């Protein structure tokens, strides 16, 4: 999976009178505005690798150079300096005929405004790359129908592009790129021209297709939410430079600079962060061969009325409640299995926070997070879920729990004393009482 499909090394693109001089000065450390007299630098020293089968998103505002970069990857813009390697082939400086061959066989593209041929039918549009490859008519039309079915456009092949809605036209654009059957797909703001509902639908469909086809996709967008939703990894660009490359979680939780942080503020964290990003060490949890006393002790330490039970390999088996455990101890039994109950709610590690709220509300214990093998890898208390939605450096780390309430008996006793006393401020008394029990009430950090 970590095989490199595409690599860009120290890419420069300068438009203007004297590009090579501009590159030399940029390399010497001059800024973009300093070198304006020699040319406009659109891309400055960009390096990245794209792994086979991943969606690599390049994100930046307009004018940040992202569209220029993607056009250098298939040679639509020639490279001022640096190198691009596609599937082992260098793109910079190859003759035009070789470049066309690479475009036909290795790299296809989806455009922001669809760029369909308006005088050809949908099917003929999809078959266009095959036509350029020299595939026979019946074969390429069969392939076009097959790909159209894949993107959900069965039976639209005879229409003209102008008869389709925007979303459908872009499906044709995607179908055309898929028909070319290249390993690498370049998508230049492919969904930016669509309205939000359709955009969401298309993003989901793209991920579905990607699961089936495992293409290498370079996706350009100015929308960070889109980048976060689609990207396995994201490169953030600003003024021609790549300022950070990382997974969506990296970018969200550890922005490289103020610029990225500002960007990240607008992100819908609930749709990006996953359970594994916010979960805490599983607690309370007991092994299935431990006795009810251990379970009770765990529950008491964690201030919970139940505990998770795991088997060998930390596999989640179920949970036990404190009432059942107390009964078990009284009966003198030592096997927890007899009182084991199924866990009502557990979520997988890669579930986004958006989908955790309802389970978290319904779950008696902190929400259990399990991995693909069913092992309990962590839990998410409700407060943690809430805190994760806020921005701030610590919001996804473990947090201290608020102090637990003082026991009923104690409050009753204190209230009794207060009634006897000559009207002391009850808040002060309560404060003192809380202080008095504080030594028992350790914060979560300490328990850990």
Least Å distance between CB 270 and other proteins? 21
The CA radius of gyration of the chain, in Å to the nearest whole number, is: 30
Residue 181 CA to residue 102 CA, distance in Å, equals 12
- Find the shortest distance in angstroms from Cβ 219 to other proteins: 15
Catalog residues that contact other proteins under the rule CB under 8 A.
74, 76, 100-105, 107-109, 111-113, 115-119, 128-129, 132-133, 149, 151-159, 163-165, 167, 171, 176, 180, 186, 201, 205
- Which residue matches tokens 């579905």? 208
**Cα separation of 259 and 267, whole Å?**
14
Runs of H (alpha helix) within 266-321: 269-272, 275-278, 292-302
Comparing CB distances to other proteins, the nearer of 200 and 241 is 200
**Nearest to other proteins of 160, 401 (CB atom):** 160
User: Can you tell me the distance from the alpha carbon of 415 to that of 138, in angstroms, rounded to the nearest whole number?
Assistant: 90
208 versus 266: smaller Cβ distance to other proteins:
208
Angle at 2 between CA 109 and CA 58, to 5 degrees: 40
> Minimum distance between the CB of residue 151 and other proteins, rounded to whole angstroms?
8
State the minimum distance, in angstroms, from the CB of residue 202 to other proteins. 10
The answer to whether 186 and 70 are in contact (CB under 8 A) is: yes
Report how far residue 200's alpha carbon sits from residue 191's, in angstroms, rounded to the nearest whole number.
9
Nearer to other proteins, 111 or 303 (CB): 111
What count of other Cβ atoms lies within 10 Å of the Cβ of residue 425?
A: 9
The structure tokens listed for 289 are 């061969």
Q: Which is nearer to other proteins, 29 or 95 (CB)?
A: 95
Does residue 223 contact residue 47 with C-beta atoms inside 8 Å? no
Helix axis angle for 166-179 and 137-150, nearest 10°, is 130
Rounded to 5, what percent of the chain is helix, strand, coil? 45, 20, 35
From the CB of 357, what's the least distance to other proteins, in Å?
22
Q: Which is nearer to other proteins, 105 or 410 (CB)?
A: 105
Q: Give the nearer residue to other proteins in terms of CB position, either 188 or 324.
A: 188
């Amino acid at each position: 999976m970590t095989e490199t499909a595409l690599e860009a090394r120290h890419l420069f693109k300068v438009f203007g009178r004297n590009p090579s001089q501009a590159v030399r000065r940029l390399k010497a450390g001059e800024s973009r505005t300093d070198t304006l007299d020699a040319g406009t630098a659109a891309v400055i020293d960009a390096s990245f690798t794209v792994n086979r089968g991943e969606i690599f998103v390049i994100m930046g505002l307009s004018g940040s150079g992202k569209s220029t970069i993607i056009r250098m990857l298939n040679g639509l813009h020639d490279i001022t300096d640096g190198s691009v390697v596609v599937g082992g082939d260098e793109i910079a400086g190859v003759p035009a005929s070789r470049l066309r061959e690479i475009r036909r066989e290795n790299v296809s593209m989806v455009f922001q405004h669809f760029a369909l041929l308006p005088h050809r039918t949908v099917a003929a549009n999809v078959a266009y790359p095959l036509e350029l490859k020299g595939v026979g008519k019946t074969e390429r039309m069969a392939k076009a129908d097959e790909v159209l079915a894949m993107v959900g456009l069965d039976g639209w092949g005879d229409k003209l592009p102008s008869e389709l809605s925007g979303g459908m036209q872009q499906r044709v654009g995607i179908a055309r790129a898929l028909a070319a059957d290249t390993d690498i797909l370049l998508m230049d703001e492919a969904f930016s021209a669509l309205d939000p509902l359709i955009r969401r639908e298309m993003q989901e469909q793209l991920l579905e297709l990607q699961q089936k086809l495992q293409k290498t996709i370079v996706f350009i967008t100015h929308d960070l939410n889109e980048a976060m939703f689609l990207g396995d990894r994201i490169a953030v660009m600003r003024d021609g430079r790549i300022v950070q490359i990382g997974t969506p979680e990296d970018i969200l939780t550890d922005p490289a600079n103020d610029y990225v942080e500002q960007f990240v503020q607008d992100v819908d964290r609930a749709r990006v962060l996953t359970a594994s990003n916010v979960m805490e060490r599983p607690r309370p949890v007991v092994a299935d061969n431990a006795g009810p006393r251990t379970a009770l002790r765990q529950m008491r330490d964690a201030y919970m009325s139940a505990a998770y039970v795991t088997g060998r390999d930390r596999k989640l088996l179920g949970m036990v409640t404190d009432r059942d455990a107390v009964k078990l101890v009284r009966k003198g039994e030592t096997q927890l299995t007899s009182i084991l109950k199924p866990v009502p709610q557990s979520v997988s590690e890669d579930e986004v926070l958006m989908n955790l709220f309802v389970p978290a509300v319904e779950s008696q214990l902190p929400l259990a997070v399990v991995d693909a093998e069913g092992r309990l890898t962590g839990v998410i208390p409700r407060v943690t879920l809430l805190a994760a939605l806020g921005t701030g450096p610590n919001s996804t780390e473990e947090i201290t729990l608020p102090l637990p309430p003082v026991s009923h008996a104690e409050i009753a006793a204190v209230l009794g004393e207060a009634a006897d006393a000559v009207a002391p401020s009850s808040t002060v008394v309560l404060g003192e009482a809380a202080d008095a029990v504080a030594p028992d009430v350790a914060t979560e950090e300490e328990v850990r």
